[in-house]
């Protein structure tokens, strides 16, 4: 078991390269739109939805260009994948929550910006159920998009180590925009390194198991922990 990029074409057609470039650029541009340029505007949520729909459309076409069987291989379910996903997810969630509890005196001053940023897209009354659904579904979409499509396409173009780093950088770009709106520069940079490390790890886990199931489960645990931390920061401000 494990991911093998050799079964894909060694060179992608030009249209696949262009689509891949768009897939990498669109998310950070979208984040600038709905978190910076349209912050607090009624258009923020519709634009957010439109960007996500566009990303799904791009990835659907991109997966098709990767060839038949790519989708089936990426979502193969193995007991090892499930077990590793739960194990690593629990570890990541534990690390995130532990770091927050240790650093909470330093992070509490940012609770107001976290509240305004989070509540731009999530109504306060539905924070918890939306956080749960979002963590499960959005983490799946991100793994399908960033590891499965973007990462898989890069693996067909270059050496695995370079593809892993570039896929993680692409995954980090839009997170930098978001984090910069919630935290001051040094904190945003530090957290962006954390996102990059997570991108590298989930790409490694995808290649190790040959399936997106393990990184998806692990990612869902991480998102749940992050939403939990956000809830605690909002509660501090409230």
Q: How many angstroms separate the Cα of 5 from the Cα of each of 11, 80, 128, 133, 220?
A: 12, 20, 39, 32, 25
Which pLDDT belongs to residue 112? 66
Tens of pLDDT along the chain (238 residues) come to 666 554 444 445 788 889 999 999 999 998 998 888 887 777 877 888 899 899 999 999 988 887 767 878 888 888 889 999 999 999 999 999 999 889 888 877 766 666 665 655 566 667 788 889 989 998 999 999 999 999 999 998 889 999 999 999 999 999 999 888 878 888 899 999 999 999 999 999 999 998 999 999 999 999 999 888 877 777 655 5
> What does the alpha-carbon distance between residue 36 and residue 41 come to, in Å, rounded to a whole number?
10
Residue with tokens 């897939």: 23
pLDDT computed for residue 10 by the predictor: 43
Closest CA to 41 of 125, 126, 120: 120
Entry field: residues in the chain: 238
State the residue for tokens 């305004």.
Answer: 116
**Do residues 231 and 128 lie in contact, with contact meaning Cβ atoms separated by under 8 Å?**
yes
Q: Looking at residue 59, what is its pLDDT?
A: 92
- What is the distance between the alpha carbons of residues 166 and 158, in angstroms, rounded to a whole number? 10
Where b means 16+ CB within 10 Å and e means fewer, 177-194 reads bbbbbbbeeebbeebbeb
According to the model, what pLDDT value does residue 9 have? 46
Q: What are phi and psi of 158, to 5 degrees?
A: -155, 180
- Tokens read off for 214: 């393990």
Does residue 75 contact residue 213 with C-beta atoms inside 8 Å?
Answer: yes
pLDDT at position 182: 76
For the chain, state the CA radius of gyration: 18
CB atoms within 10 A of CB 63: 18
Joined tokens for residue 183 = 């935290």
Q: Map tokens 């991109």 to a residue.
A: 62
Task: Residue 151: name the closest of 19, 18, 20 by CA.
Answer: 20
Question: Which ranges of the chain would DSSP assign to H, the alpha helix?
Answer: 14-32, 44-66, 70-74, 79-107, 111-121, 127-142, 152-155, 160-182, 185-209, 213-237
Closest C-alpha among 59, 87, 55, 88 to residue 71 = 59
pTM here is 0.85
């Amino acid at each position: 078991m494990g991911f093998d990029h050799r079964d894909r074409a060694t060179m992608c057609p030009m249209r696949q390269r262009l689509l891949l470039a768009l897939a990498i650029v669109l998310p950070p541009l979208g984040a600038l739109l709905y978190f910076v340029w349209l912050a607090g505007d009624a258009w923020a949520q519709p634009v957010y939805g439109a960007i996500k729909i566009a990303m799904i459309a791009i990835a659907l076409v991109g997966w098709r260009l990767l060839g038949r069987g790519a989708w089936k291989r990426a979502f193969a379910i193995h007991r090892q994948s499930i077990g590793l996903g739960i194990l690593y997810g629990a570890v990541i969630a534990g690390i995130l929550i532990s770091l927050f509890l240790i650093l909470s005196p330093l992070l509490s001053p940012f609770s107001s910006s976290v509240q305004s940023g989070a509540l731009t897209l999530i109504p306060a009354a539905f924070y918890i159920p939306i956080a749960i659904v979002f963590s499960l579904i959005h983490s799946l979409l991100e793994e399908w998009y960033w590891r499965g499509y973007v990462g898989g396409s890069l693996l067909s173009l270059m050496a695995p180590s370079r593809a892993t780093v570039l896929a993680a950088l692409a995954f980090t770009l839009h997170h930098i925009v978001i984090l910069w709106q919630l935290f001051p520069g040094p904190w945003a940079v530090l957290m962006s390194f954390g996102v990059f490390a997570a991108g590298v790890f989930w790409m490694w886990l995808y290649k190790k198991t040959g399936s997106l199931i393990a990184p998806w489960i692990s990612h869902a645990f991480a998102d749940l922990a992050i939403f939990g931390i956000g809830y605690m920061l909002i509660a501090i401000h409230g």
